[in-house]
A and B are shown apart, each in its own frame.
Chain A
Amino acid sequence: SAVISQKPSRDICQRGTSLTIQCQVDSQVTMMFWYRQQPGQSLTLIATANQGSEATYESGFVIDKFPISRPNLTFSTLTVSNMSPEDSSIYLCSVDSSSQETQYFGPGTRLLVL
């Protein structure tokens, strides 16, 4: 399985600011995804990061709030913009497996917004 790293691992931010989360994979992958896991909740897909084109967002998530970049096949960033306390969550990056039958997850970024 791919080895996935995320930076930062955690952060505490002030409301109104923005944070960019990085996701790095040790091998080229076709698909990269960003999820949110709110406290005590399950995972919700934010968007699919597409290499060379705009990300595909799920219902309830918009590009202005969660801009995503995917400059190559091993790297993606998610920005959480104009943060409010409701954005306090774990943000997880995932990638598709080589068989494209499942996904592997990174360790997550724990975000607390004050």
Chain B
Amino acid sequence: QKEVEQDPGPLSVPEGAIVSLNCTYSNSAFQYFMWYRQYSRKGPELLMYTYSSGNKEDGRFTAQVDKSSKYISLFIRDSQPSDSATYLCAISVGGAQKLVFGQGTRLTINP
């Protein structure tokens, strides 16, 4: 069983839709949860990170963590074509320590 499971997609939605991206993990020792966005031929860009259960909002993006279910989500509101990218979840036991990445979900927003 992988430590982090993420549906690779691809996921295609119309512009303006709400997008939901999800990961599950197996080890309850994981405490830090991150979402990265990676455009084609670029390095991963940190979108959000949190170390507690609950929601964290930043503009059109909301990260949600449910430690009891070992389930994390990223919601994108009012999705734009510029949001088309691969989204990677990453988790760690101790912040900037070893990150374990999900497989990444390829997202396309259609105009």
B43 close to chain A: CB less than 8 A:
yes
B63 close to chain A: CB less than 8 A:
no
Contact of A42 with B96 at beta-carbon distance under 8 Å, contacts A105-B43, A108-B42 already known: no
B51 close to chain A: CB less than 8 A:
yes
- A20 to B41 alpha-carbon distance, docked (Å): 20
- A45 to B4 alpha-carbon distance, docked (Å): 14
Residue of B nearest to A93 (CB): B43
- A114 to B36 alpha-carbon distance, docked (Å): 31
- A98 to B1 alpha-carbon distance, docked (Å): 33
Q: How many A residues, CB 8 Å from partner?
A: 26
Which residues from chain B contact A106 at a C-beta distance below 8 Å? 43
B25 close to chain A: CB less than 8 A:
no
Of the four ranges (under 10, 10 to 19, 20 to 34, 35 or more), the interface on chain B belongs to 20 to 34
B interface: dominant SS: loop
What is the distance, in angstroms, from B14's C-beta to the closest C-beta of chain A? 25
A103 close to chain B: CB less than 8 A:
yes
Scan residues 69-111 of chain A and give those whose CB is less than 8 A from a CB of chain B.
92, 96-97, 99-108, 110
Q: Which of A31, A96, A105 contacts B45 (CB 8 A)?
A: A105
Which residues from chain A contact B44 at a C-beta distance below 8 Å? 43, 92, 105
B76 close to chain A: CB less than 8 A:
no
Other CB < 8 Å A-B pairs besides A44-B101, A102-B49, A103-B99, 18 of them? A4-B43, A30-B96, A33-B99, A42-B101, A42-B102, A43-B44, A45-B98, A45-B99, A92-B43, A92-B44, A101-B49, A103-B46, A103-B96, A104-B46, A105-B46, A107-B42, A108-B42, A108-B43
Question: Hey, which bits of chain B sit against chain A, CB under 8 A?
Answer: 32, 34, 36, 41-46, 49, 51, 88, 90, 95-96, 98-99, 101-104
A-B pairs with lowest CB-CB distance, top 5 = A96-B96, A101-B95, A105-B43, A42-B101, A102-B49
